[in-house]
Structures are given as structure tokens and as C-alpha cells.
Amino acid sequence: MADTRLIQGRYRLLDLIGRGGMGEVWRARDESLGRHVAVKCLKPHGPHHDPDFTRVLRERFRREARVAAALSHRGVTVVHDFGESDGVHYLVMELLEGRNLSQLLEDNKRHPLPVGDVVDIAGQVADALDYTHRQGIVHRDLKPANIMRLTDGTVKICDFGIARLGHDIGFTSRLTGTGIAMGTPHYMSPEQISGIEVDQRSDLYSLGCVLYEIATGAPPFDLDDAWAILVGHRDTPPTPPRSHRAELPEYIETIILDLLAKQPGQRPHDAREVSRRIATGRTSPAYVPTVVTPGPQPRPAEPESRAPLLPSWTRGMTTGHKATGAVLRTTPHDASAGLTAEWTARPAAGPVPPPDAVTALAGRHHEGLRLGRLGRWAEAGDVHREVAAERAKLLGPDHPDTLASRYEIAFTLGRTGRAADALREYTDVARERSRVLGADHADTLAARQEMAYVLGQLGRHFDAHQVYTSVLAARERTVGPDHPDTLRCRHNLAFNLSRLGRLDDSYRMARDVAAARARVLGPDHPDTLVTRYEVAYALGQLGRREEALRIYREVVEARARTLGPDHADTLAARYEVGISLGRLGRSADALTLYRDLIDDRTRVHGPAHPETLRARHGLGVNLGRLGRWEEALTESRDVCALREQALGPDHPDTLVSRREVAVGLGWLGRWADALAEYRRVAAARERVLGPDHPDTLASRNDEAHCLEQLGRGAEAVELYRRVAVLRQQRASGGH
């Protein structure tokens, strides 16, 4: 190619910028249009090469040209032209200024990319795949080297060299039959490895591999031997990314692990679902209103005095695992009791298992529970998997004790961020328990209730609502309306109603559950307090701020008594008190509260902890409300910088802080600087959430207001008009 400097009399080759298995890529100038382009040339082969091999390469190259030229999306490289010149096949593409993900990792010394970049790249690639898949195209070689991040932050998928159209099966088989590697081992899906027909879900698996690598610094199966890599993809569960990098958001880890499911049917349905889950994770609040960690056990002196208030079935109760998102447990089996009476009362279908072996397994089961209580979830999962396998051999796969171990496996999967895997395990356990124990058995209902909880974690709130409603009816029928299991189900149903937008229903149900728990468990029981917290949250959402403030304060006092003043749940309720004070116009009181809270958060969690920064953000907001704008601006800038460093530039918390910087600049009359910040927020939200998302539109309105203050009325009016049109389109589209 060095002697052939002009292609088709039009494209002048200037610099070699890349070389791969299929050819070379040159920076070139389009002499006709006077623009720089990239030209990919199929590498010529000498006469000693197998002509069939060369023919297939050329066929594949022509296919890339035809496939790529048909695509038009900001996340896919634009193809301008293709053809053959003097025996050389060429493809003319836009010249991209940026680095591919593999280069970015090398630039970063193989350290993972910033969290914000990982999330941004994940969202953009998912959007591009959604487009290409809807055109019937499977890429089949998605890897870091084939994904470019441009200097302006845009991410593009490149190189459709082995892509196939969904309807073109014959061509796929002909290419595969040549023995040419159809993909790159580190990023190949199990079905590619097995040589079976692939569809769009294969690309989703490869996307999971790419995201795993940029999030942790290494692909999921980082082995030297290609065969070992392929076996890993086929047979080995990947290590959860957060075990390598704890600050990675849990929802991103969940998405990655779901993408890496071995079976295509267990992965997300399509790239659009992946994109939606990323957008939801970036903007949705955590499960804060229902999160409380287990509190202390009742004091020894209390049971006698409280005993008349409690039904007998409350003895030995925990402090409410379900309120924490933890496992809902019935009374644990006594390790010395061996098999459950319900099961052993049936006629024996085979030899009775040795009691010593059963007791030993029960002891190991409880060891797994102990590891879980210590937060060592991965180790707990390993123990439960081993015990489940041995119980299946000894007692049978559908024995209640075997299913109890599988239930614990599901719980550990949920705690390690593998919600989709947990859902599958809970679903299997619920089905088997229903068959073996009956649909209304407490253990069956426990598994179904956990299914509902995980559905909520996955954003499937309507599905969760249906399961919760069914479980609640069964619990009320079998154990009554005041049983703790019934109340726990009603509490979770109330929370889920708020996520469905049914705020009045959510408030009424939470209020009733709080009253019932206070009556049955006592007013200071952690389960009672977590439901009262939910009541206050619902009241705040309904605009009933005074009532919300009163309840939050009562929850703070009760939690300080029962959990301690430095407990995370006590501090969380204090933060909500500050929110309520600020929204009621009592900013001086809020300021005092936030200063104390920042001191306590810093002492307990450290100065850069997200919750410490959340309290500092609240402080800055209330400084502004008091007209102390110089101080507010300084505080907002500090918090914004720390959040950007810890969470990434496009994280919702970072953008909220950046907007607060812009607000401060505006109040200080520095409108040109404010406009620049507002535009940064609007551009980031548009990139992450889309142009018609309510947060994006609010940011564009901020931008228009700023333009008005600068005397640029015509631009402001045009921007207001665009926002109005987008809002109308969103409303008419039923979003």
C-alpha cells in the first residue's frame, strides 16, 4: 500500500493509523470534498495464501461495508463510501478524534476508568446496540478496541467486520465453516464458543465483558491461555466487579452480572432494557426509605413486662430483616433436631439418612448464616452452595432443608449485587416449596415475598406489586393480619406503591402498618420505626411537611434510644429532618442541624463519604436560602469537586451540586459564569437521560432564564419554545 497513495483517484492516503487482522486503516484526505477521512483497506495477500481464505476475507470485508453503510446513529461510525480499486477493497469512514477503550485503559496503566466514565460509556454503547439490533444486525466482535470515545465524550461502535444481518443465516454458516475466528476470546459469548447460532444477546454478553474490564481494569476471565478463557466463559461464574472495586455502584454491578449470564435467556431481553436500567440507576434514589440495619435484641428485662402485648409466635423474632432488604426468616431449624417434623412425618420413600450427617449439615448451614450476619456474603454463599449440594445428595433435591440452603444462596446473590440471579433462584425455590409444602406454607410465601423484593430492586415495580398482593392475601388468610410476616409484606407493598406513583395509597397503607407494628411489637421496635420513616417520607411527597417533620423527629429520638445516636439509621433520619426544615422555610434551624450532622458524619464515616457530602450539600442550599451566597457558592464548589472525583462528572449527585454552583453564581450577578455551568448540567443530563427527560428540560429552562438575565431574550424565547415542544411531545407520547 505504500506505493499506492491514491485510492479510486479520490482518497489520498496520508498516515497509517491502525492495523488489524483484516487490513489497515489510514488517515486520508478526500480530494473531492476537501475533508479528512479514515480509509480501511483489505490487506493484500501474496500468491502463497489460500485463495479460498482470501475470498472469504474479501467477502467478509464487502459485508462490513454493506452493513456499516446502512447504519445511521450517533453511536455508530459513519461510512461514507466503499468499493474496489486495483484489486484493493476499501471502506471510507469518518475520521474519529479520540481513543478506543483499550487505549484508554493502557493510558490509565490498566487501572479501571472513572466510575462516571464507565456509566456514561455503558449507556451510550447500549443505546447504539439497541439501534443496530433493531436493524437486524449483530456485531459479534464487540470489544474495547472496537469502541471509540471521542474527545467530546461521544462513544461510537466501530468495525462491523464479522457482523451479520439477522436474516442472513447462510452467509454466517459459510464464514464460520472456514475456521476463521469469529470473535475475540476475552469477549466471546458462551454460545459463540459452542459454535451455535447467535443473536443480539451474544452482543449483550460481550458488552458485559467490556464493561467488566473498564470497571475493574481486567476482563472477567483474565487468563493467558485462550482455551482457559473460553472454558471460563462457558462454565465459570464471574467474580462480582465490586469485590475488585467497592465504589462501583451496585446497579452497575448487577447489570454487568446479568449481561454475563451463561444462558442467553437469562440475560436482559434487549439493549433497550439495558439502557433503561442504566438511566434508572443513575437517576433513581436508593432504597433509602426502607433501609434499616438490624438493631439490638430486646433487653433481658423487657420480655416479662411486654409479654402480654405480644402473641406467642413473636418469641425469638429478629429485629426485622426484611426492612433491611435482608432475608425473611422463619424460626431457624434447631441444629440438633435434624429433619423438619413435617417432612419426617411422611412415609419414608427411601433409607433414613444418618442423623449425625444431618446434624453436621445443619451446623454448617448455621455457619453460613453467621458469615452473612458478619457481612461476609461471598463466603456465606460458598458455604450455602456446598451445603445445598450435600443436602441434595443426602436428603433429596426437594427436601425442605435442601430448599432452605438454596433460599440462602438466593439471599447471598442479592447481597452481592446479583439481583437477576437471586430472582431466578428464589423463583425455583418458591416453585419447589409450593409443590412439596403447599402454596400457602410459610416457607413458600417467604420465597415468593423475596421474589417481589428483588423485582422491585430490578425496577419491575408492577410485577412486584402483583406478587406482594398475592402473598399478602395468603398471609392474612393463614396467620392473620397482625402477624409480623403479614405486616412486613404490607410494609413492602406500601413502599412499592410509592414507586408506582400511588402516593395516597402508599401513605395510608404505611400509616396502618406503623400503627399495627406499634401495637404488636412496641413503638420503639426497629420495624415500627422503619415504617414510621416511610410514613414521613410519603407525607413529604404529598406536601404535608409539618406532619413529616414531626414524625421524622420522633423517629430520630426513638432510634437514638434503641440503636444509638451514631447509628446510620439515626443519622439518616436526622438528614430528613433537615430537608423538612429547609422546605418549611426554617433555614436557620436547618443550618444548625446540618453543621452538627456533618461533624457526626465526618467522625463516623469520613469527610468524603457520600452521606457526609449529602449533608454538606444541604448546608450549602440553606446558606443560599439565608442569602449568604458567597459561603453557599464556596460550599457548593467544594462538594461538586469531591462528588465529581468520587462519583464521576455525570453522576446525578454531581450534577445537582453543579446546578447549585450555577444558582450561587446567578445570585451573585455572575450570569455569564452561571450560564456556562447551567449548560454543562443540561448537556450532561441530555446525554445521560435524553433530551425530553424532565430533569433535562428543567435544566434547559434554567439555561433560558440565565439567557434572559444576560439580555439575550430572543435566544431565551427560542429555548423556552423548544422545551415546551419537548414537554408536549413527551406528554402526548404517554411517557
Q: Mean of the pLDDT values across residues 112-117?
A: 88
Among candidates 663, 575, 570, 564, which has minimal Cα distance to 613? 575
**Which of 550, 521, 145 lies closest to 161 in space, CA to CA?**
145
Q: Percent of the chain beyond pLDDT 70? A: 82
**Which residues have a Cβ under 8 Å from the Cβ of 294 and sit 6 or more positions away?**
318, 319, 320, 321, 324, 326, 526
Contacts (Cβ under 8 Å, ≥6 apart) of 250: 242, 417
For residue 53, what is its C-alpha cell? 481464505
CATH superfamily of this structure's domain 6-94: Phosphorylase Kinase; domain 1 (3.30.200.20)
Pairing of strands 88-94, 79-85: antiparallel
The residue-averaged pLDDT of 439-464 equals 89
Q: What is the mean pLDDT of residues 500-508?
A: 88
pLDDT of residue 137: 86
Largest CA distance in the chain: 97
In this model, does residue 696 exceed pLDDT 70?
A: yes
| Assigned C-alpha cell, 352 | 433414613
Dump pLDDT digits (tens) for 254-307: 999 999 999 999 999 999 999 988 888 776 443 333 333 333 333 333 333 333
Nearest to 652 by CA among 612, 615, 691, 610: 610
CA atoms of 692 and 735, how far apart (whole Å): 10
Cα 429 to Cα 487: distance, rounded to the nearest angstrom: 23
CB 399 within 8 A of CB 389: no
Task: Identify the residue whose cell numbers are 435442601.
Answer: 402
Q: Hunting for cell 428464589 — which residue is that?
A: 426
% residues pLDDT > 90 (the chain): 40
What's the pTM value of the predicted model, to 2 decimals? 0.47
Task: Measure the N-to-C terminal CA separation of the chain; round to a whole number of Å.
Answer: 53
Phi, psi (rounded to 5 degrees) for 236: -105, 125
Cα 558–327–498 angle (5° rounding)?
65
pLDDT tens sequence across 646-681: 888 988 889 999 999 999 999 999 999 999 999 999
Strand (E) or helix (H) holding 92: strand 88-94
In this structure, which amino acid lies at residue 112? P
Q: Distances from the Cα of 246 to the Cαs of 193, 285, 393, 487, 664, in angstroms?
A: 31, 19, 36, 34, 34
User: Which residues, listed in sequence order, are joined to residue 149 by a DSSP beta bridge?
Assistant: 99, 155
- What's the mean pLDDT in 561-566? 84
Cite the DSSP H helix spans in 396-525.
400-415, 419-437, 442-457, 461-478, 484-499, 503-521
Span 580-601, pLDDT tens digits: 999 899 999 999 999 999 999 9
Nearest C-alpha neighbor of 168 from the set 135, 129, 201: 135
Query: What are the residue numbers of the active site?
Result: 141
- 21, burial (CB in 10 Å: exposed 0-12, middle 13-18, buried 19+): exposed
Which of 3, 8, 160 lies closest to 84, judged by CA? 8
The CATH fold assigned to 98-283 is: Transferase(Phosphotransferase); domain 1 (1.10.510)
Give Cα 113 distance to the centre of its chain. Answer: 17
Pairwise CA distance, residues 155 & 77, whole Å: 9
C-alpha cell at position 61:
470485508
Please give, one letter per residue, the 3-state secondary structure of 599-620. HHHHHHHCCCCHHHHHHHHHHH
DSSP H helices, 9-79, are 51-69
User: Could you give the angle at which helices 115-134 and 271-283 cross, rounded to 10 degrees?
Assistant: 150
Of 34, 25, 190, which is closest to residue 91 (Cα–Cα)?
A: 25
Q: 40 among the known binding-site residues?
A: yes
pLDDT at 126 over 90: yes
Query: How far is the CA of 181 from the CAs of 162, 178, 184, 226, in angstroms?
Result: 10, 9, 7, 12
**Hunting for cell 467522625 — which residue is that?**
603
Helix (H, G, I), strand (E, B) or coil at 148: strand
* Residue ranges in 113-246 assigned as alpha helix (H): 115-134, 169-176, 190-194, 200-216, 226-235
- Cα 263 to Cα 192, 581, 729: the distances in Å are 12, 51, 39
For residues 434 and 444, the answer to whether their CB atoms sit within 8 Å is: yes
**Residue 347 has what pLDDT?**
39
What integer pLDDT is reported at residue 389 of this predicted model? Answer: 94
**pLDDT, mean over the chain:** 81
| pLDDT tens by residue, 56-77 | 666 766 766 777 777 778 888 8
Each residue's pLDDT tens digit, 460-495? 888 999 999 999 999 999 888 888 888 989 999 998
C-alpha closest to that of 492 among 516, 475, 472 = 472
**What integer pLDDT is reported at residue 5 of this predicted model?**
76
pLDDT the model gives residue 175? 35
CA dist 471 and 486 (Å) reads 9
Task: Tell me what pLDDT residue 57 has.
Answer: 64
The cell for 225 is: 491461555
Chain segment 218-243, per-residue pLDDT in tens: 899 887 667 778 878 888 889 999 98
Mean pLDDT across 3-22: 77
Q: pLDDT tens digit string along 614-636?
A: 999 999 999 999 999 999 999 99
Give domain limits for the chain: 6-94, 98-283
